[in-house]
Structure 1
């Protein structure tokens, strides 16, 4: 593998402005293939806005995004998924009236090379249903596959979201506060699932539960007011005086 292909994600001078408000200010970062990267910062620092630009939910005002050396800056979200990018969201985005299996299957339909025929029943795609059930088994929810999402606990919904993302077999996975709102037991379960994800998938995570998140991270990026303040190896970033001032409040 050449040096040019060891970068899973490159963000160069990414800027997002809404009217007269600039949310991300020329953010640049490089994430190695297989890396576990944690994005931290106070509320309003621009973390989710950065994720939205990487995933294609928001177009940057300027800058460039590359996924394994391919420029994806102008691609819509579904084409970025085809390139190997997947994500979860702060606010759960599942279909509550549909079953767990149906939710994961729907997440897979967009990756099919052929156009999805909406008039066909979901049962027509038996190969996708099989993959959905395999992924639900991997997150410990196969026994609930036929239940509607509305019937399961909040922590289980978080695991379904993770299953939807993992079923797409992403090369880069963005996790936006995957532990938010979980009990201690649920947090331990989801943390273990994240830790078990293969190194074939690069993980980039936003998380406020620092004690838990730092156990998973190798490198850390600190954002404040949409700017990168500190970036590097986990222990060095946490020990940096700027991190203590901006994030830890000491």
Structure 2
């Protein structure tokens, strides 16, 4: 069954676990601000999103017929922005449409603070050394093969919360595949694959799973001129192979 993000946000209120001593009874619409001892049932409940089991630090449990899961876990699984508002207190959720329209969540709009968005929550910092969550401003360092390696973006976020970057270092030129774990809030490098030196710009097509390099040279008037195209394909095993090389006249 497909559940939209808007519907999911609305249903989260009945399935949240607050660790700050604030619990809502299943038959009450008003949250209690005092600590209360309750009996819950732990039954090794698994969280599965799109067929993939999600690892979680706090184990879900049932209480009065309801399943209680950490709010951040559910929100991160579906890419929904969430923050804790201690002054109210409240857990605030931001859906994709609000993020696209609200100025404070304008990473997708190419604002000065977040000019390189990966999706509507995560963006690349300038110099491409870090990924930042534009909702809470938390940063994640992007792993590299070498500390002195230079990173260049190739793609925005694609399937399975992945993105690709080009790394140039003392060993050559590599396409690196990265994955953001939105539950654990961490970033990992899944692979590095060496390719020929890149003289132009490299882009990724999610539909065809191809990397395309547009090779550029300066002409006699010092203007950039397209002189060739290279196309690399990536397999399900993350093997990258050059498929075509086209030279222009």
TM-score range, shorter chain: under 0.3
Larger Rg: 2
Structure with greater strand percent: 2
Q: TM-score, normalised by structure 2?
A: 0.23
Structure with greater helix percent: 1
Indicate the structure whose relative CO is greater, using CA pairs within 8 Å and at least 6 residues apart. 1
